[in-house]
Chain A
Amino acid sequence: MARERLQPSKNAWWFSLIWPVAALALLLLFNLLFTPGFFHIEFREGYLYGTLIDILNHGSKVILLSLGMALVIATAGVDLSVGAVMAIAGSVAAQLINRPNTPLGAVIAAALVVAVICGCWNGMLVTLFRIQPIVATLILMVAGRGIAQLITEGQIVTFTHPGLTFVGNGHFLALPFPIVLALGMLGITVLITRKTALGLFIESVGDNATASTFSGIDARKIKFFVYLFSGLCAGIAGLVAASNIRCADANHAGLFLELDAILAVVVGGTSLTGGRFYLAGAVVGALFIQTLTTTMYMRNVSADVAPVPKALAIIAVCLLQSPAFRRRLTSTFRGKPA
């Protein structure tokens, strides 16, 4: 058989982006036609303003979460606890910053360390005790908010420290700081997965953990790491969330965001069964979800009702990605039995 270097199209890094970008483009097109002022961006007092900027800003939390989630899902796992970890990180930061003479650096470090410890807890349950990821992270998801409540002693803890509030509300290079954080984290994640062999090992472990072990990969270490990393991402997102509203709300911080993160990753092309993961796709997926939410908001759809179009979008994306659906569709057009 011919051994030419194969058509690169299917494996070029951007091929997998076609579907999520198309979905996002469709949504933006809708807004272009029906929502006046959607694309309006202005430059005021050295900062950029506009709906698109808002989308990037609010979407940065989900982007952060989806980076860690993509790696976890790639190992055929899932991390349901990221919302709860966000609450925990925010609570730690809020409590510490209000203590006199605590340097900002230490506060942020503490919050992130706690988040990483949460990630390690998940990693330990999955690798050492061999508990199914859904259940293992479910435990922290359920208990996590209780823990966050313990930290804040049941109160909503407000803070005014300018350094901490900058994280969620400041600007850097004319862009809101959360966007910068998210992009920075994207860059770091791309670096550590694609410039080292880590990405290959993660995909290998997710696709076939046994064979990976036989090839000399330490599957347990890889799996442990992705949960640790997911915890870190959740910690950063938690700081942004708390900073946004200048307080730590253990009950509501990050509520349902884990679902948005999973959605973003799946829309971005990563399969729930593990294997290949797509970071750019996850980012596009996160933007898609945030654009959807913002579109709803701008069209005066109540926030309570907004989940409905999200649900329909999930179904649409899943159907499009499902080979069974495509099969039935094509066979209907050809008139043959499925």
Chain B
Amino acid sequence: MGDETTALLEIRKLSKSFPGVRALEEVDFTVRRGEVHALMGENGAGKSTLIKVLTGVHGRDGGTVRLDGVEIHAHSPKEAEAAGISTVYQEVNLIPYLSVAENICLGRQPTRLGLIRWGAMAERARAALARVDLKIDVSQPLSSYSIAVQQLVAIARALDISAKLLILDEPTSSLDEKEVAELFKVIRKLRAAGMGVVIVTHFLEQVYSISDRITVLRDGKLVGEYETSKLPRMELVSKMIGRALAQMQKVEAEAKQAQVEEKRELLLELRQFGRPGWVAPLDMSIAKGEVVGLAGLLGSGRTETARLIFGVDHAKNGEMRLSEKRVLFKSPREAIREGFAFTPENRKVEGIIPHLSVRENIVLALQAKQGVTRTLSRKQQIDIAEEFIKLLGISTTGPEQPVVNLSGGNQQKVLLARWLVMQPRLLILDEPTRGIDVGAKAEIEKLIQSLRAKGMAILFISSELEEVVRGCQKVIVLRDRAKAGELAGDQITEEAIMQTIAGHPHGT
């Protein structure tokens, strides 16, 4: 456990404001030597701002930061590194074309007379990798290795810089179970060696598995600092969420009510539908007025399945039947024509058109369906936009505001509006509540239920099992790009889903 006497990192009364928002308000944060400390909070809580201030990306408005008793004030990532703080980001943030050895040593290559000694550099890289139990060919480009390996390389770089404090920002989002276990082994090794590790994450299981203490932030303020072993899960969740718990319980009641109604007309049927390398052939059916959940770990093939259904990628196996009629979509356009809609997981890259207005983003798909010549008049567009701003409670200064200026949650609502305008028969939602604060989450979950009640078929993809359990009448479970099982009605519990994913009976 941590050394109780001298703290490694001591942050006191840290404050930081941006125009219009107080991101951090007098936050205290302490990390001990030889400790893994989880930093948690919903979106907008201030976690990433805290990290960015620590690592010199942002300046601070007030407060002190002490590392090893010495006050530091980093104005750039380089200064933070020099002080002994290293960060490994979710997207790894190294140079993909360059070799592993170069990535580890870049900036500190061993030289003789100004010329780099490649042999010595490779040696040094191998030594750094040994500290994270990794033995790979350091001369290969970084991009030829998986994300999990790249992350370990990033950690090795941090160690090579003699970091005292290691910050891991959402390290497990792109890793599968096995890779997470490997990463945690390395973290435990670092902890045993006396390093301080801060891990920013929202995966509850992992927090309980690896961390010694937890700090919770909410709305830019410190909620509290706790010993992991002494903090029950529900209490942690309530500290992060607070008030919206009651709202969520209401949604659950409604969903369970819906499961009582049985007879539903079949809308979509997949028979041995799949694509080699993407998803193994699977069977699935969705009825009108039904919410079907697609559950599974990251990388299990859920998004891939959605993309195949929507025509983004092309299925090579099996068939898809829409109301008994056989269909195959070669592009999203074709799927949209048949009444399909899809909100992608990665809204920044695949969802919003950032510099276009809220109005333009909302009417985009509808206009695309109508074609180039049949235009919606300006008035029509504004009316539609205002209708959905009101319906979904989108927080914006008006229909003409560029979408990039909206918060994540509101951008998601704009995307939803885009598809609701189309009045689709099948709405595919891929992680619709990711990165959204709990208040907005509850609203979206309510909306899904009301759409279902009106007869829309919904395919709901989410990594958060509680959401899936609460809102779905049927759950398809995927594991390793193949269907692992199907649960319906009362069978749907978090435990059952996890068991199906794991693939072995309860308890083992």
Contacts and interface: CB of A to CB of B under 8 A. Distances in A.
A211 B367 contact: no
Interface string A55-86: 00000000000000000000000000000000
Contacts of A1: 395-397
B332 interface: yes
A3 B395 CA distance: 8
Interface in B331-373: 331-333, 336, 342, 344, 349-357, 360, 364-365, 367-373
B123 interface: no
Given A5-B399, A196-B375, A215 B357 contact: no
B360 A214 contact: no
A214 B372 contact: no
B355 A197 contact: no
Given A211-B350, A213-B332, A275 B355 contact: yes
Interface stretch (A172-180, A200-208, A315-323): A200-208
A207 B371 CA distance: 19
B182 interface: no
B371 A197 contact: yes
Contacts of B401: 6
B344 A214 contact: yes
A195 B389 CA distance: 26
Interface string B364-395: 11011111111100000010001001100001
Contacts of B332: 213-216
A214 B400 contact: no
Contact of B356 (A8, A204, A218): A204
Interface string B305-334: 000000010000000000000000001110
Contact of A201 (B336, B357, B372): B372
A214 B375 contact: no
Greatest chain B CB density within 10 A among A197, A203, A210 is at: A197
A321 to B, nearest CB: 15
B382 to A, nearest CB: 8
B503 interface: no
Contact of B399 (A6, A201, A203): A6
Nearest to A210: B350
A189 interface: no
A255 interface: no
A208 B360 contact: no
Contacts of B242: none
B414 to A, nearest CB: 11
Interface string B264-294: 0000000000000000000000000000000
Given A211-B352, A218-B333, A197 B360 contact: no
B20 to A, nearest CB: 11
B345 to A, nearest CB: 11
Contact of A208 (B353, B374, B400): B353
A201 B368 contact: yes
Greatest chain B CB density within 10 A among A2, A5, A6, A215 is at: A215
B61 to A, nearest CB: 13
A197 B370 CA distance: 9
A223 interface: no
A195 B376 CA distance: 10
A214 B368 contact: no
A117 B208 CA distance: 64
Nearest to B390: A3
A217 interface: yes
A10 B373 CA distance: 27
A211 B390 contact: no
Interface in A71-108: none
Nearest to A10: B400
A198 B356 CA distance: 14
Contacts of A302: none
A197 B351 CA distance: 19
A48 to B, nearest CB: 37
A207 B344 contact: no
A16 interface: no
Nearest to A5: B398
B375 A211 contact: no
B353 A3 contact: no
Nearest to A217: B368
Contact of A210 (B349, B360, B400): B349
Nearest to A192: B372
A211 B349 CA distance: 7
Interface string B2-34: 000000000000000000000000000000000
A11 B400 contact: yes
B221 interface: no
Nearest to B397: A6
A217 B364 contact: yes
Interface in A179-203: 195-198, 200-201, 203
Contacts of A196: 372-373, 375
B355 A276 contact: yes
A305 B324 CA distance: 74
Nearest to B357: A11
Nearest to B335: A216
B418 interface: yes
Contacts of A213: 312, 331-332
Greatest chain A CB density within 10 A among B342, B352, B357, B400 is at: B400
A212 interface: yes
Contact of B351 (A195, A200, A214): A214
Contacts of A211: 349-353
A4 B398 CA distance: 6
Given A11-B357, A196-B375, A216-B369, A6 B352 contact: no
A207 B348 CA distance: 11
A227 B400 CA distance: 29
Contacts of A195: 375
B386 A207 contact: no
B307 to A, nearest CB: 10
A195 to B, nearest CB: 7
Contacts of A11: 357, 400
Given A3-B386, A216-B333, A207 B353 contact: yes
A31 to B, nearest CB: 36
Given A200-B367, A215-B368, A217-B364, A6 B398 contact: yes
Nearest to A276: B355
Contact of A215 (B365, B374, B397): B365
A110 to B, nearest CB: 28
Contacts of B368: 197, 201, 215-217
A325 B332 CA distance: 41
- A-B pairs with the 9 shortest C-beta distances? A6-B398, A216-B368, A216-B336, A215-B365, A1-B395, A217-B368, A216-B333, A275-B355, A215-B364
Given A197-B371, A207-B355, A211-B350, 12 more contacts: A3-B386, A3-B389, A5-B382, A6-B398, A197-B375, A201-B368, A204-B364, A207-B356, A211-B349, A211-B353, A214-B312, A218-B333
5 contacts: A197-B372, A197-B375, A203-B356, A211-B350, A217-B368
Interface of A: 1-6, 8, 10-11, 195-198, 200-201, 203-204, 207-208, 210-218, 275-276
